[in-house]
Amino acid sequence: MAVSAGRGMRDPLPVPLPDAGAPARPFPRRRAAWRRNRAYLAGLTPTAFLLALFFVGPAVWGVYTSFTNRALTGIDARNFRWVGLENYRYLLDDPDLPTVLFNSLVFVVGSAMLGQFVLGLAMALLLDHAEHRGYRLTPLVYAAVLLAWVNPTVVAGFQWVAMFDFYYGSMNRALGWVNLGPVNWLGEAPMLSVIVVNIWRGTAFAMLIFLGALRTIPTQIYEAARVDGAGAGRRFWDHTLPNLRHIAVLVLLSVTMSTFGTFVLIQTLTNGGPGLQTETIALYAYNTAFSSYEIGYGSTIAVLMLAINFVFAAAYLRVSRPKV
């Protein structure tokens, strides 16, 4: 038995032992950490590679190209030049930019902030309430909202082109029942139309998140409030809404980001028109690059988009602080 610690009569144990020189065989911490983590780092490489190829690479490429006069075809496609800040200078003077930014703002505020957010919250409250009451139609309504969400975008666009048809469309038929209309939806109220469709498509996300959040509010809170004599309205204002506040900020940021990037839906419905009436920044970047063949300037617009989106994403990370 070579062991002495603890055996000794006068081993002053709770007090640290005096260090008798350097400990035997120090094991380098950094090498140990590397040994532990190298397999996991290897496991992340396929993902890192694909993300670099299709996210980081294009973003860098876009920033670089925004400093050139690169074109889609013709002589400037191969022999493009570095033009410095010229594209950005042009961007500031671009007469269409204020229109496009304003359209994006209206689209985001109308369909995401007012539409999906408010309707999503309303649907969540309605379904949660109806579920408590045990109404049988509840699952059907829930499924209907989800259906619109899972539906591929191109199909949604097509369905709503028909819905909005001036002569035969269901929207105008419905208005006809109450002696209104007909409205030339996509011609005279194009922004309202795309907003309606985007609300139709995106309400499910906000609704799902709010439904999930409503379930996390402990029922004891409501029971306690009832005992204290609070009516339904009081309970809603004092307990339901405050409990949803944090999640509401996140939902708002989420739907804002997803709506900001909306492209296919608008393209199928109006393709930005008539004129520039529904041309959001996403469509403007695309049309500049592919219809006007100016990839350099198109990239400049895309960089502006990324910058705006980054602000929202940073806010999202700040608020949500996801656990890593």
Partner 1 sequence: MAATWIRRRGATGGMRVAPSSAVLPGDAAAAPRIEGARVAGDQARVARRRRGGGPVEWALVHLAFAAALLFFLAPFAWLVTAAFSARATAYIRWPSDPTLANFRYVFEEFAFGTALRNSIVISTATMVLTTLTVALAGYSLSRLEFRQKTWFSYGVLLLQTMPLSATMVPIYGLARELGLRNSYLGLILVHTAIELPFLTWLMKGFFDAVPRYLEEAAWIDGRSKLRTWWEILLPVARPGLGVAAGLSFLSAWAEVLMVIILVDRSEMATVPLTFYRAARGEGSYMEVRYELVAAMGVLYVLPVLALFFATRKLMVRGLMGTTRGI
Partner 2 sequence: MARIEFDRLHKQFPGQPQPAVNDLSLEVADGELLVVLGPSGCGKTTALRMLAGLEDPDAGDIRLDGRSVVGLEPRDRDIALVFQQYALYPHLSARDNILYPLKVQKMPRAERLGRVQRVADQLGLGRLLDRKPGQLSGGEQQRVALGRAIVRQPKAFLMDEPLSNLDAKLRTHMRTEIKALVRELGTTTFFVTHDQAEAMTLADRIAVMSAGRLQQLGTPDEVYAHPANLFVAEFIGSPPMNLLPVAQEHGALVTATGWRLPMPAGLDGTNGDLTVGLRPEAIRLSREPVPDGQPAQVFLTEPLGSEVIVNVRLGGALLKVRTDPQVRPRPDDVVYLTADPAGVRVFDSATGASLVAPMPATAGAAA
Q: Identify the three-state secondary structure at position 230.
A: coil
Give 28 or 46: the residue with its C-beta nearer to partner 2: 28
Task: Please list every residue from 274 through 293 that binds partner 1, using CB under 8 A.
Answer: 282-283, 285-286, 289-290
- 255 touches 116 (CB < 8 A): yes
Q: Which does 123 bind (CB under 5 to 8 A by kind): partner 1, partner 2, none?
A: partner 1
Kindly state the number of chain residues that form the binding site for partner 1, as judged by CB under 8 A: 120
Sites for partner 1 among residues 204-233 (CB under 8 A):
205, 208-209, 211-213, 215-216
Least Å distance, CB 39 to partner 1, is 4
- Selected from 148, 189, 191, 225, the binder of partner 1 by CB under 8 A is 148
Question: Whose Cβ is closer to partner 2: residue 2's or residue 140's?
Answer: 2
Residue 116 beta carbon to partner 1: minimum distance, rounded to whole angstroms? 11
Give min distance, CB of 15 to partner 1, in A: 33
| Residue 278 identity (one-letter amino acid) | T
Q: Cis ω on the peptide bond leading into residue 190 (within 30° of 0)? A: no
Residues 6 or more apart from 78 whose CB is under 8 A from it?
A: none
Q: How far is the CB of 10 from partner 1 (least distance, A)?
A: 40
SS3 of 35-52: HHHHHHHHHHHHHHHHHH
Report residue 83 as tokens: 């033009």
Instruction: Choose from partner 2, partner 1, none: what does 115 bind? Cβ within 5-8 Å by kind.
Output: none
| Residues 279/99, Cβ–Cβ less than 8 Å | yes
Q: Which of residues 267-286 bind partner 2 (CB under 8 A)?
A: none
Q: How far apart are the first and last CA of the chain?
A: 47
- CB distance 136 to 246 below 8 Å: no
Q: Which amino acid is at 146?
A: L
Q: 74: phi > 0 → left, psi -120 to 50 → alpha, else beta; which?
A: left
Whether cis (ω within 30° of 0) applies to the bond prior to 274 is: yes
Shortest Å distance, C-beta 9 to partner 1: 39
Using the CB atoms, write b or e for 11-27: b if 16+ within 10 Å. eeeeeeeeeeeeeeeee
- What residue 12 binds from partner 1, partner 2, none (CB within 5 to 8 A, per partner kind)? partner 2
Q: Does 18 bind partner 2 (CB under 8 A)?
A: no
Question: Is residue 131 part of the contact set for partner 1 (CB under 8 A)?
Answer: yes
State yes or no: residue 320 binds partner 1 (CB under 8 A): yes
Residue 240's binding partner among partner 2, partner 1, none (Cβ under 5 to 8 angstroms by kind) is none
Whole-number minimum distance, CB 93 to partner 1, in Å? 21
Per CB under 8 A, contacts with partner 2 among 22-61 are 23-27, 29, 32, 35-36
Which residues make up the interface to partner 2 (CB under 8 A)?
A: 1-17, 23-27, 29, 32, 35-36
